[in-house]
Amino acid sequence: MKNSLLNSVGNTPLVKIDLNTPGQIFAKLEYLNPGGSIKDRSAKYLIEKAEQDGVLKPGGLIIDASSGNHGIALAMIGRIKDYRVIIVVSEKISKEKYQTLKAYGAEVVVCKATKFLEDPESYHSVAKKMGTEIPGAFMPNQYYNTQNRDAHEFGIAPEIWEQTDGKITHFFAGAGTTGTISGVGRFLKKQNKNIKVIAIDSINSFKATKGNPKPYEIEGVGMDFETPVFDESVVDEIVNVSDKEAIDMLRFLAGQRGFLVGPSSGAVAVGLQKYASAFVKTSADRPKLNDSDLAVIIFGDSGRAYLSKNFYCEEDASYNYNQSRNKYLHF
C-alpha cells in the first residue's frame, strides 16, 4: 500500500521479449509509472530538488518545455502538490498527450515545430522566455539541467542492476534529452566497465545530420542540441533509426508481441536489432550480441498516447459498432 501516488513512481517490471535476436532481451516497462512514462522519475526528482533548495515554494508555478511526457509528469505532480503548471509544447504533440495535459489541469502553450531548439519560436525558447518574465516561476529545464541525468543514475539504474542480478551486458535507450542514457550509463559503467551502453537516435536529428536536422515524427528520441546533460563518455555507440523503421516496429510489437508502446520504444527495439545484426571488426569477426548476453531496453511510454496518429493500424473509416457486433456474435 502507498500513502501517495508519488510513492508509486518507479519499481517497474522487467519483462522478457523476443525480438528475433541472439541473447536474452528484457524490456523495462516504464509506461506502468502512474503518469504513463519514464518522465515521472525525472520530473519528481527535479521538483523535489527544487523544493529542497527553496527554489520552488508552496503554491508556486512550474513552467517547462516538453514533447509531452515530461509535461504530463509535471502536471500530475502539480495537481498532487498544488502547483500551477504551464507546459509549452510543439505542434508535433499527439492529441492524446495534449488532452492528458489539460485533464491534469495544466495550461498548455502550443508552438510551431522548428528545426533548432534555440530558435526564438521553438517551444523551449518560448518556455524559457515565459519562465524569466513570470515572477517566481520555476523551470526544471529538462533539456539542460544535469539533475535530469542524476534522476536516472540514482533511480532507474539501480533497479535495472538489481533486477538483472548484475548480469546485464547491454543497455539500450532512446536519446532525446539524453538524461536516461547518460544517467543509467554512468551507473552501469561504475558497476562493470564492460557493459555496453547504446543510445538510439533519429536518423534526422541535429547530431545524426551533423547540424542539418530534418523533420521527423518520432517523439522522445532525437539528439537535437548540445547539452551538458549528455555524458558521451559512457555511451559506446549511437544507432540511428528512421521514422518508418520505428513505426513498422510498433505494429510488430503490438500485433505480434503484445506490447503497445510509443514511437521511442519502437525506435529502441529497431536499434537493438540493428546492433545485433552487426559484427565486431576483429581478426575473427563476431556478432555484437551473443546468446550469452543479457540486454535491457527501455519502453518509455504507452502507445495509447499516440493512437490518433494511426501508427499501429490504418484508420478504418468504415468501422461500425453494430456491424462488428453482429460479425462476432456467433462463432
Instruction: Give the separation between CA 310 and CA 265, rounded to whole angstroms.
Output: 16
Domain count, the chain: 2
Q: Does one domain contain both 288 and 190?
A: yes
pLDDT for 25 beyond 90: yes
Encode pLDDT of 241-295 as tens digits. 999 999 999 999 999 999 999 999 999 999 999 999 987 765 456 789 999 999 9
pLDDT for 319 beyond 60: no
Average pLDDT, the chain: 92
Encode pLDDT of 135-153 as tens digits. 989 999 999 999 999 999 9
The grid coordinates of residue 304 equal: 495509447
pLDDT of residue 286: 73
Encode pLDDT of 197-230 as tens digits. 999 999 999 899 998 888 888 888 999 889 999 9
Which helix (H) or strand (E) covers residue 294, if one does? strand 294-299
Is the residue at 144 inside a domain?
Answer: no
- Secondary structure (3-state) at 253: helix
Phi-psi region of 95 (alpha: psi -120 to 50; beta: other; left: phi over 0): alpha
Instruction: Give the separation between CA 105 and CA 155, rounded to whole angstroms.
Output: 27
Which residues span the domain enclosing 106? Answer: 39-138
- Secondary structure (3-state) at 138: strand
The grid coordinates of residue 155 equal: 533511480
Active-site residue set: 39
What's the whole-model pTM score? 0.91
Q: Does one domain contain both 237 and 274?
A: yes
Is the residue at 286 inside a domain?
Answer: yes
The separation between CA 35 and the C-alpha centre of its own chain, rounded to angstroms, equals 13
Q: Does one domain contain both 155 and 238?
A: yes
Q: Does one domain contain both 277 and 165?
A: yes
CATH number at residue 157: 3.40.50.1100
